[in-house]
């Protein structure tokens, strides 16, 4: 293999190599600098000059570095043994385990799934987190991002989902691929400790690229993770949940490289091809007709300035099938997980829940809870304007409902793994503050089956007069505070 030391220019993470043999676009490059090996990838190739982006930093790089072009793209060594292992951003084992003997070596860029070969997703993944299971059910083959903000507990939520997620059927066919993209060393440790302690590691594949690692490598991590996932899902027939934490760091890296290449910037400096680039990642979720497995993606995004219209969440939202939105207001109220169910949405949910999938009353209950909670939030707004005394009975009930909903259904501990039926039971319980005829989103059949049939002891407290209940709650914390902390681009908008 020919070796060159014809670097003409070094700029940011890029090196420009001249007088090479014809080098393929996207080829992997090995660079030796004073005995230290680095790797890179070809970004631009021509007769005269080849542009290479270096995965490690170019710090210490000089014009005499030796360059070798490996004649192939970036590959991932896949094997059934990758389960339970930890890799760095370039797919090299990072734990103390033995080297992976590749069963197959796969190009990490992958290929688009032919839309004709896809199968419609229709089975749920149970996370044990009530808010998600009930209101934004995750469907196998879906891509459903978590929109979070700085300081919100998305990591805890991600870990909890990674620990608790199950599918109906054979548990050994379920795996989690976790990709830490530009996370801090401390976060990485927390994840690893948690994975190890809970035993979740035994069904997981972990890729870690920390904030200290080169940013170019961040572009590779989700691709590595998804290549591993595709191998497990479509070659080994497993159902794989891929958690990408945090895609904001990925996009920052994309912008960095784009700027270094002096490309024309798009919105807020992000490159114009960011949509295509993100789509190439997110669209790797799915199910292929005639094959066993599935890939479900749960990317996590920290919204810069809690702004949902920022290009990163915006482009993501246009590609993904819904979103789970975390709310700063709920977090400040001490609710974990602080999921804003009104802003969250799972597009694939409505066709995939119900009798044979979750529970027969799942959809009507979810719709009813959604409507009541929306009423409750509206009532809170009214309270701040006209005062609580001026409220009608329905609005009072909604106030109580909203409060109970947040405290009892949303809130759970990071270790609590709720069953579907437990979640639905709680919902029925909460709905019992309303008279039967106020539950307009449910058919009579559904109401006949469950309404007023709770026989638990604590139910008694819930049935008290709305007003009395309200006073109890009032002692605690800011009921009826106007909403402000919710993440939204339209916060100030008026209802038309």
**Taking contact as CB under 8 A, which single stretch among the options 110-118, 191-199, 216-224, 402-410 is the one that binds other proteins?**
110-118
Q: Is 2 in the site for other proteins (CB under 8 A)?
A: no
Please report how close the Cβ of residue 448 comes to other proteins at its closest, in angstroms: 13
Interface of this chain with other proteins, residues 73 to 92, rule: CB under 8 A: 73
Q: Pick out residues in 432-471 that bind other proteins (CB under 8 A).
A: 438, 440-444
Is 356 near other proteins (CB under 8 A)?
no
Residues 6 or more apart from 232 whose CB is under 8 A from it?
Answer: 82, 83, 175, 177, 205, 238, 240, 293
Binding residue (CB under 8 A) for other proteins from 98, 385, 389, 460: 385
Instruction: Give the shortest CB-288-to-other proteins separation in angstroms.
Output: 4
**Closer to other proteins by Cβ: residue 111 or 456:** 111
Q: Is 44 in the site for other proteins (CB under 8 A)?
A: yes
Sign of CA dihedral 403, 408, 412, 418: negative
Alpha-carbon gap, residue 269 to 256, rounded angstroms: 9
Residue 12 in the binding site for other proteins (CB under 8 A): no
Among 34, 64, 119, 448, binds other proteins (CB under 8 A): 119
Should residue 489 be labelled a site residue for other proteins when binding is judged by CB under 8 A? yes
157 forms part of the interface with other proteins (CB under 8 A) = no
Quick one: which segment of 7-15, 119-127, 235-243, 244-252 binds other proteins (CB under 8 A)?
A: 119-127
Q: In the range 287-346, which residues lie near other proteins by CB under 8 A?
A: 288-289, 291, 308-311, 314-315, 317-319, 321-323, 342-343, 345
Shortest reach from residue 138's CB to other proteins, in Å? 14
Q: Looking at 16-24, 150-158, 206-214, 404-412, which segment touches other proteins (CB under 8 A)?
A: 16-24
Question: Around Cβ 55, how many Cβ atoms within 10 Å?
Answer: 25
6 contributes a contact to other proteins by CB under 8 A: no
Distance CA 357, CA 122 (A): 9
- Alpha-carbon gap, residue 80 to 69, rounded angstroms: 29
Element (H, E) at 166: none
| Angle, helix 393-404 to helix 420-431, in steps of 10 degrees | 150
Instruction: Note whether 387 binds other proteins by CB under 8 A.
Output: no
Of 349, 456, 451, the residue nearest 132 (C-alpha): 349
Pairwise CA distance, residues 295 & 139, whole Å: 10
Least Cβ distance, residue 130 to other proteins (angstroms):
20
**The one segment of 127-135, 271-279, 412-420, 471-479 that binds other proteins by CB under 8 A:** 271-279
Asked if 114 touches other proteins (CB under 8 A), the answer is yes
Q: Are 400 and 464 in contact (CB under 8 A)?
A: no
Nearer to other proteins, 32 or 394 (CB): 394
Query: Positive or negative, the Cα torsion across 405, 410, 416, 418?
Result: positive
End-to-end CA distance of the chain: give it in Å, rounded.
68
| Adjacent-strand bridge partners of 33 | 36
The residue within the footprint of other proteins, chosen from 16, 236, 359, 370 (CB under 8 A), is: 370
- Residue 246, preceding peptide bond in cis (omega within 30° of 0): yes
Total of residues contacting other proteins (CB under 8 A): 87
Looking at the Cβ atoms of 46 and 168, the one nearer to other proteins is 46
As a whole number of angstroms, the distance between CA 30 and CA 48 comes to 19
Other Cβ atoms within 10 Å of 56 Cβ, number: 20
| x/- letters, 241..270, toward other proteins (CB under 8 A) | ----------------------xxxxx---
Q: Which of residues 122-151 bind other proteins (CB under 8 A)?
A: 141-142
Residue 80: closest CA among 99, 59, 61, 103: 103
| Beta pairing class for 204-210 and 174-183 | parallel
Taking CB under 8 A as the criterion, the residue among 9, 19, 105, 120 binding other proteins is 120
Binding segment (CB under 8 A) for other proteins, from list 24-32, 87-95, 247-255, 465-473: 24-32
70 touches other proteins (CB under 8 A):
no
Q: How many residues does the chain have?
A: 496
List beta partners, residue 29: 40, 69
Pairing of strands 66-69, 28-33: antiparallel
């Amino acid at each position: 293999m020919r070796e060159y030391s014809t670097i003409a220019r070094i700029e940011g993470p890029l090196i420009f190599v001249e007088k090479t043999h014809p080098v393929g676009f996207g080829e992997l490059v090995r660079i030796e600098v004073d005995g230290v090996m680095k790797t890179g990838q070809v970004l631009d190739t021509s007769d005269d000059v080849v542009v290479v982006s270096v995965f490690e930093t170019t710090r210490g790089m000089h014009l005499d570095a030796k360059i070798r072009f490996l004649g192939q793209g970036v590959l991932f060594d896949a094997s059934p043994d990758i389960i339970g292992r930890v890799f760095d951003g370039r797919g090299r084992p990072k734990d103390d385990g033995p080297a992976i003997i590749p069963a197959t070596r796969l190009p990490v860029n992958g290929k688009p799934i032919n839309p004709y070969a896809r199968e419609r997703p229709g089975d749920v993944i149970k996370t044990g987190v009530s808010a998600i299971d009930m209101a934004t059910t995750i469907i196998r083959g879906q891509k459903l991002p978590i929109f979070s903000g700085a300081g919100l507990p998305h990591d805890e939520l991600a870990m909890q989902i990674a620990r608790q997620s199950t599918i109906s059927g054979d548990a050994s066919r379920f795996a989690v691929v976790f990709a830490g993209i530009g996370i801090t060393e401390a976060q990485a440790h927390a994840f690893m400790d948690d994975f190890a302690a809970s035993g979740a590691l035994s069904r997981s594949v972990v890729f870690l690229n920390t904030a200290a690692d080169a940013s170019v490598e961040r572009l590779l991590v989700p691709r590595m993770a998804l290549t591993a996932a595709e191998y497990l899902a479509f070659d080994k027939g497993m159902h794989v949940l891929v958690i990408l934490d945090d895609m904001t760091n990925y996009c920052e890296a994309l912008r960095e490289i784009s700027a270094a290449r002096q490309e024309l910037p798009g919105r807020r400096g992000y490159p114009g091809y960011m949509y295509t680039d993100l789509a190439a990642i997110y669209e790797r979720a799915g199910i292929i007709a005639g094959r066993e497995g599935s890939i479900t993606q749960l990317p996590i995004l920290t919204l810069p300035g809690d702004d949902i219209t920022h290009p990163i969440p915006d482009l993501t939202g246009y590609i993904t099938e819904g979103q789970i939105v975390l709310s700063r207001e709920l977090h400040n109220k001490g609710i974990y997980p602080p999921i804003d169910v009104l802003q969250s949405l799972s597009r694939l949910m409505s066709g995939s829940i119900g009798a044979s999938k979750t529970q027969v009353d799942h959809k009507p209950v979810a719709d009813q809870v959604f409507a009541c909670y929306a009423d409750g939030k509206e009532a809170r707004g009214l309270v701040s304007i006209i005062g609580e005394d001026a409220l009608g009975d329905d609005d009072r009930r909604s106030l109580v409902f909203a409060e109970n909903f947040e405290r009892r259904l949303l809130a759970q501990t990071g270790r609590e793994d709720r069953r579907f039926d437990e979640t639905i039971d709680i919902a029925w319980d909460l709905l019992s503050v309303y008279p039967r005829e106020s539950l307009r989103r449910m058919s009579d059949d559904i109401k006949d089956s469950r309404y007023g049939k709770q026989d638990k002891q604590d139910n008694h407290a819930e049935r008290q007069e709305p007003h009395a209940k309200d006073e109890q709650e009032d002692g605690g914390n800011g009921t009826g505070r106007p909403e402000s902390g919710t993440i939204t681009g339209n916060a100030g908008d008026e209802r038309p």
